[in-house]
Structures are given as structure tokens and as C-alpha cells.
Structure 1
């Protein structure tokens, strides 16, 4: 059965952009794009790695707005519309929470390879691996 609500998590990467392209081509259904703003960890700020402050949070929110607006523009170029959402938190947890809260029945996302960890993590990326293993719906990973 074809999905009725497809979620495409976007992080601004080429693979995420390709996931949006695939979702728009494959599913003539409701598509929501989601960008997750990850809060700066207090330990990172305390360790002097990152400066805490509103300026950094505002920059992250601005970037999120650009990511979802670019998705709307890309969808319009193929005569489609997408709904947009921006959440704050751990990316995998935010994606899974959005799936549960908004009747999403399919996720299409980019996979990112990493250099450490299990073979699955290296092939898919940590966020994609978590979503694939924990989502109660079908997940398509674009590589």
C-alpha cells in the first residue's frame, strides 16, 4: 500500500537533497521536510570548544529556515508542495518523535557513512541506523 504521509529529514547535505528528490519522484502524496536543530551540548561549551550564546542559536535557526525554504523551492520546481517543520533535539530522537506525533507512514532519508563503529553505521550513518532500527514505519535510505 502506498504511504499517505512521507517524512524527509533534511540536514543540508547532498544525500539528504537526493532523498527529497527521490521522495518527490516516487510518492505523489503528502511530503513533510524536517530539519532538526541540535542544541549545543553544555559540556562542549564548558570545555571551551564552542562559545555558548544566543548568537549561535540564532544562526542555527536561520540555517534551518534556509534548509526548509530551499526544499519548498525545489518542490515547486517540479510542481509539488511540501510541508515544513523544524524541531530541536537529538536528530534521531526528533525524527522518531515526529513520525509518532504526525501520522507519518514512510521516511525517506539520506544515509551518511562514518569512519567508526559497526558496519551498519559505516554504511548508513548513525542517525539513519537509529531511525531504520527504531522506526515503526518503512524507512528508505538514499545512498
Structure 2
């Protein structure tokens, strides 16, 4: 299997996503990396809830978080291979569609939730990572 040219690393603003980005940068040193900041709709179960913010503000915050994530993980040479994009929707739908539409060769994501709810979702196969794996035609690496 040839090394992928285009790798997608989705981010949802969860802990340990820096590990997925670091893994992608190290494992695929020649690939273009897309850091996709997914903005989950406020009515979705993964919503941060609380104050209802306008979509544009939430998208800007997601882009800023992705930028900070990139700065925390990559040196300037590696950062040149990374572009940041945003997409709004449910991650289990957005990530596979983005990968297909944009010609992504491989997806790398962190799959574990936190706490007992994350464990239960993983155990029952209802986690975001499981959904992405099921719906994505391209290879998906899920870090635990």
C-alpha cells in the first residue's frame, strides 16, 4: 500500500486530538494534512450546550481552536503541510463526506470518549469514530 498523499485529521474540540495530529504528521511525513474543525450543530447530542452562539462565531472559534492545536503540535516546517478547514454538521456524516469529496486518502482521529459515557458509546459501537469507520471508504486510523 502506497503512502497517502492527503490525510484528514478531524477535530471536535476534545481532549487528546493533538495526539492524532502528531501521529499523522509523524507517520505520513510527505502527506498534505487537512485539520478539519467540525462544528457540531447545537441541537446535536455532542453540542457544547450553554449559551446559544451564532454559527459564524462557533465556526470562528473552531478554526481558532484548530490553529492553537496545530501550533501546540507542529514545528513551522511541519505546519506548512497542514491546512485548516471547517465544516458544520454531525461528525459521523461530515467527516466521511469531506474525505470523499476532497480526495482524502486516509483519516486519522482520536476515538476515545472520556468517562463512562465515552466508554459505553465505544463498547456499544455508537461512538463517532465507529460511525466514521463504517461510513468512510478510505482507510481510517483510530487512536485510543
Distance 1:128 1:117, change over 3 A: closer
Q: 1:40: how far off?
A: 1.6
In the TM superposition, residue 67 of structure 1 has moved relative to its aligned partner by: 1.8
The aligned counterpart of 1:138 is 139
Q: List gaps (5 residues or longer) in structure 2.
A: none
Q: Which runs of 4+ in 1 moved over 3 A?
A: 49-52, 55-59, 115-118
CA–CA distance in structure 1, aligned partners of residues 27 and 143 of structure 2: 12
Under a length normalisation based on structure 2, what TM-score does the superposition of the two structures give?
0.79
SS, match of residue 86 in structure 1: strand
Q: 1:107 to 1:120 in 2, by over 3 A?
A: farther
What does 1:1-143 correspond to in 2, within 5 Å? Answer: 1-28=2-29, 29-41=31-43, 52=52, 55-74=53-72, 76-77=74-75, 79-80=77-78, 81=80, 82-113=82-113, 114-117=118-121, 119=123, 121=125, 126-143=127-144
Contact 2:22 2:74 in 1 (8 A): no
Q: Once superposed, what is the RMSD of the aligned Cα atoms?
A: 2.4
Q: How many residues align?
A: 132
Q: What is the CA-CA distance between 1:117 and the residue it aligns to?
A: 4.7
1:129/1:77 Cα in 2 relative to 1: closer, same or farther (>3 Å)?
Answer: same
Where do 5+ consecutive residues of structure 1 fail to align?
Answer: 43-48
**Larger CA Rg, structure 1 vs 2:** 1
